[in-house]
Homo-oligomer: A and B are copies of this chain.
Amino acid sequence: MKTNNTANSAANSAAKTGHERTGVRRGRTRNDARHDKTKNEKIKIIPLGGLEQIGMNITCIEYEDNIIVIDCGLAFPTDDMLGIDLVIPDITYLKDNISKVKGFVITHGHEDHIGALPYVLKDVNVPVYATKLTMGIIEHKLKEHNMMKSTKRRVIRHGQSINLGCFRIEFIKTNHSIADATALAIYTPAGIIVHTGDFKIDYTPVFGDRIDLGRFAELGKKGVLALMCDSTNAERPGFTQSERTVGRQFDHIFNEHQKNRLIIATFASNVDRVQQIINTAYKFGRKVIVEGRSMVNIISIAQELGYINIPDKTLIELDQMKNYPPEQIVLITTGSQGETMAALSRMAASVHRKVSIVPGDTVVFSSNPIPGNEKAVSNVINELYMKGAEVIYQDTHVSGHACQEDIKLIYALTQPKFAIPVHGEFRHLKAHAELAQMMGVEKDHIIVMESGDVLELSSDSAKITGKVHCGDVMVDGLGVGDVGNIVLRDRQLLSQNGLLIVVITLEKYTNQILAGPDIVSRGFVYVRESETLMEDARHVVSQALENCLSHRCSDWGKIKNVVREALGDYVWKQTKRSPMILPIIMEVE
C-alpha cells in the first residue's frame, strides 16, 4: 500500500520549492541548506500533554536550538481532583529550555488547545501564531488576563507558511467543530511532519472551504516523514457526517414545532452550528436570542471577525423576549453538557433569572454528552420533561472528529513513513495504531507515545530515547499549582467521612488540662441528633488523655496520637466510619 520510501529527500525538495498555492515565503531558508548537508538529521517530538487523555494538548518539536510548540491547552479536572477549577500542563521543560522556544503554533480555538496559554505565556513569553478566529478567541482570553500588550501575536492564513527557527510551518485548511481549524505541515531537517490538529472531513462545510485534501495529497507525493493525526474517533467505523446534515434536521424540527418556543443547547464554540440555527430561524421568521456567557462571547467575536452572518433584526436581547409570542422565539443556549451553572441547567432547575421552562417549550440538545457527562445531561433532560417541555436529543449533532474511514483517507493521501497517533485516550491511540497498520505503515513505524516521551525521529528511524518532566498543574481560584496531592487527599477524606476536631488547652509547665477536651464535628454526624455518641466520644478522649498525662507524657505528638487512636477506635466501633481526626493542643502559661 505504501510505496514512498524517500521521505527525507522528498521533504527536502518540498522545503526547497515551497507551496505553490500560497505563494508565501518561497526561497531558501536556513534549514534548507542544512537539509542538503545530511540525510540523518534527528529531530525530537516531545508531547508535554494530550496523550492518554482528552485535553491539555501541547507538543514540542525540537531540533538543536529550536523548539516550536504546537497548541497549549487545558484539561478539565477529573473526578478525584476535588475543588479544582482547571488543569494546565507542567511546562518545566519549556522553562528549562526557554532560549530555544520560538513560538506557539495553535491549531484551533478550543479550550483543550488554547486554554493554558494565559498561564504558560507568563513563564514562556514567545509569539503566538494562529488563524484569524482562533486568534480572536485567544485575544479574548489575553484581555481577561491583561496580557494583550505583553504577548506577540501573528494571524496566519490557510496556505501561508511561517519560519520559526529552523522550522517552516505551513497552515493547511481543515474542518472541525469550530471554524478556522488548521493542520500543520512542519518542514524539519529530518523531513516533513504533518500534524492534522483536531479535524473532520466536511465536503459541504457551513462556512468557508472544505479541508484542503489536495494539499495533503501533494505532501504525500513529495514524501511525508511522519503523520500526527487526531485519534478521537479512531474507534468509530465509517465517515463523519457533514455539519450541514444538522442544518437539515433543524429545518425539520422547526417545521414540526411551529407552535412551540424552541430552546436549543449546543457547544458555545460551534459557530457553524449557531449559524445554521440562525439560518433556519430566519427562514421560519423567528427571533434569535443567545444566552450563556461563553456563547455570547464567542458569537460576538465570530460576528466581529466575519465568521457568522446574522441577518438584520434577527438577533434580539433576552429582555426583549417578552415582546414576542413563544412561537416566534428561538433561544440558543449553553448547557448542552448538563453543566450545573450553565444557562440551560439553570432554566431546567428553575433558578434562571429570566427564562422559565413551561409546557409547550421544545428543548433541543444539539450535542452528544462528552464521556463522563451522561448522568448530568440525563438529569437535565428529566427536569425539562418534568416541567412539561418536549425534549429532542437524537440526530441533532454530528462529531467534529474524523471517523475511521476519514482517518484512512488522510493516510492514503499523505502516505507517511511513520505514524504518531495524537489526541486521545490510550484506547483511541491504540485503535488509531491499528488503522495505521491497516493502511500500510510498518508496525515498528507506528509510535504510540505517552506525555513526556522524547521521540527521536530521523529520515529512517524513530525511537523513544528519553523522558522529560511533565504532568498536571492544578489551578484552584488564583492558585496555580499550590494544591497538591496532600491537599487533594485531605479533601477526599473530608468529603467521604467529614472530620472530628478535638481541642485541649494545657497549662504550659504542668501539662494540666485547663479546658477541653472539646469535640467539634463537621460532615460526620448531625450533632443534635447524635448527642449521646458525641458525649460518649468526649468521655473516651478524656479518659485516654488523663491516662496519658498521668504518665507524665508531655510530647504533643504522642498526646495527639493517643487522642487519634482512642477516638478513631471508638468511632469506628460505633459507626463503622473513619472521619479525619484532628487534635489541636493549646498552651497557656
Contacts and interface: CB of A to CB of B under 8 A. Distances in A.
Report copies per complex.
Answer: 2
A378 interface: yes
Contacts of A385: 426-427, 430
A586 interface: yes
A586 B494 contact: no
A518 B425 contact: no
A584 interface: yes
A337 to B, nearest CB: 13
Secondary structure of the A side of the interface? mixed
A495 B498 contact: no
A375 interface: yes
A582 B374 contact: no
Contact of A491 (B378, B391, B496, B587): B496
A515 interface: yes
Interface stretch (A167-175, A286-294, A481-489): A481-489
A71 to B, nearest CB: 22
Contacts of A587: 515
Interface string A196-222: 000000000000000000000000000
B586 A516 contact: yes
Interface in A504-532: 505, 514-516, 518, 520, 522-526, 529-530
B378 A518 contact: no
A580 B83 CA distance: 13
B505 A498 contact: no
Contacts of A482: 525-526, 529-530
A426 B266 CA distance: 23
Q: Please name the 3 residue pairs, one residue from A and one from B, whose CB atoms are nearest each other, closest first.
A: A495-B495, A477-B576, A494-B494
Interface of A: 52, 79, 82-83, 371-372, 374-375, 378, 381-382, 385-386, 391, 425-427, 430, 476-479, 482-484, 486-488, 490-492, 494-499, 501, 503, 505, 514-516, 518, 520, 522-526, 529-530, 574-577, 580, 582, 584, 586-588
Given A484-B526, A499-B522, 15 more contacts: A52-B382, A79-B375, A82-B523, A83-B498, A371-B378, A478-B575, A478-B576, A482-B529, A487-B524, A490-B523, A501-B582, A505-B586, A515-B588, A516-B586, A518-B586
